[in-house]
């Protein structure tokens, strides 16, 4: 049974009530708001989620009931409090009504846990003598040593890979090696989409390997966009660079969008890449230019 208070204005009745006026800390109270004889479309109560030591736990939906030419509105709101004492849920104002609801007093009682079976009183702080565990120390030392050995192995392996990428004395230069691989691709009769995709993958792999070996770029790890940004400052004429970039875009379209270019584009792509690599080798040789490779 809700204990309620009401205020009248003309034919409208505003009510606010709670299902109980005494609770323990953290217990919940059901607050019921009601307007009887209201107008259709009228505004509803508005208040924050926390006010005067009370917290709003849940707001129920506003229910409407037609009563002849008027409308009755109802809403149930669940509230709680975590502060012991006697508190008043404040008056609520409704737009269009000058008389608010009276405040509702609720006693919030502290919870007495001293008689509970699982209750344990707070004890004084006791000092604990710290002892070193030889097993734990040995385990930490072993993990540290293993980590250092792993780092050394990774560093040595990386240096070995870098050394292997450098052309040996008397071997083919990066340009000669790339041209030889490109010549193998010329004249291929590509029949299936898989062959076309493999063809353009080889074109980009040959190009990336050349720039990695010739200029020590990180072309093998970069995306196409990142790689083109790295290539843009090269002092190669814009027409050559633009054609080369178009081939890279075409290769991505073939590999990822399953686009099938015309057969003449396949031969043209090889020549565009050859032209680009030859000009880069001539103008940006690490020995004959001031080109600064990107740091590894």
Structural domain contains residue 153: no
Structural domain contains residue 239: yes
Taking 70 as the threshold, does the pLDDT of residue 286 lie above it?
A: no
30 neighbors 56 (Cβ within 8 angstroms): no
CATH number of the domain where residue 100 is located: 2.60.120.570
Kindly report the number of other CB atoms within 10 A of residue 232's CB atom: 11
Structural domain contains residue 159: no
Structural domain contains residue 275: yes
How far out from the chain centre does Cα 226 lie?
A: 22
Q: What is the pLDDT of residue 122?
A: 62
> What's the number of domains the chain is made of?
2
71 neighbors 36 (Cβ within 8 angstroms): no
191-242 confidence digits (pLDDT tens): 888 888 899 999 999 999 999 999 988 999 999 889 989 998 998 999 999 9
Name the least confident of 76-80, 89-93, 96-100, 111-115.
111-115
Structural domain contains residue 206: yes
How far is Cα 62 from Cα 58, in angstroms, rounded to an integer? 12
Q: What is the pLDDT of residue 116?
A: 54
Tell whether 90 and 21 lie within a shared domain.
yes
Q: Could you list the residue range(s) of the whole structural domain that residue 218 is in?
A: 168-283
> What is the pLDDT confidence band of residue 18, given thresholds at 50, 70 and 90?
very high
145-155 confidence digits (pLDDT tens): 999 999 988 88
Q: Which of 109, 138, 158 is the last residue of a domain?
A: 109
**What three-state secondary structure class fits 285?**
coil
Structure-token pair, residue 125? 């702080």
29-54 confidence digits (pLDDT tens): 999 988 887 777 778 888 888 888 89
19 neighbors 2 (Cβ within 8 angstroms): yes
């Amino acid at each position: 049974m809700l204990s309620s208070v009401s205020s009248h204005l003309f034919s409208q009745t505003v009510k606010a009530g709670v299902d109980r006026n005494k609770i323990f800390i953290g217990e919940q109270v059901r607050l019921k708001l009601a307007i009887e004889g209201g107008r259709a479309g009228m505004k509803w109560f508005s208040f924050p989620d926390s006010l005067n030591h009370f917290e709003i736990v849940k707001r129920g939906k506003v229910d409407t009931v037609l009563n002849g030419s008027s409308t009755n509105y109802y809403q149930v709101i669940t509230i709680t409090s975590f502060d012991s004492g006697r508190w008043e849920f404040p008056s609520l104002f409704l737009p269009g009504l000058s008389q608010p609801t009276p405040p509702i007093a609720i006693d919030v009682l502290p919870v007495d846990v001293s008689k509970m079976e699982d209750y344990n009183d707070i004890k004084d702080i006791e000092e604990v003598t710290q002892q070193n565990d030889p097993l734990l120390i040995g385990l930490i030392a072993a993990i540290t040593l293993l980590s250092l050995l792993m780092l050394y192995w990774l560093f040595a392996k990386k240096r070995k890979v870098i050394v292997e990428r450098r052309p040996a004395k008397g071997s083919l230069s990066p340009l000669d090696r790339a041209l030889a691989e490109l010549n193998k691709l010329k004249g291929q009769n590509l029949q299936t989409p898989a062959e076309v995709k493999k063809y353009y993958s080889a074109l980009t792999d040959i190009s990336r390997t050349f720039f990695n070996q010739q200029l020590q770029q990180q072309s093998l790890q970069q995306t196409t966009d990142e790689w083109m940004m790295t290539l843009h400052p090269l002092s190669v004429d814009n027409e050559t660079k633009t054609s080369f970039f178009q081939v890279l875009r075409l290769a991505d379209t073939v590999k990822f969008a399953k686009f099938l270019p015309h057969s003449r584009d396949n031969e043209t792509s090889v020549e565009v890449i050859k032209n680009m690599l030859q000009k880069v080798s001539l103008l940006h040789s690490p020995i004959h230019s001031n080109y600064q490779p990107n740091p590894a």
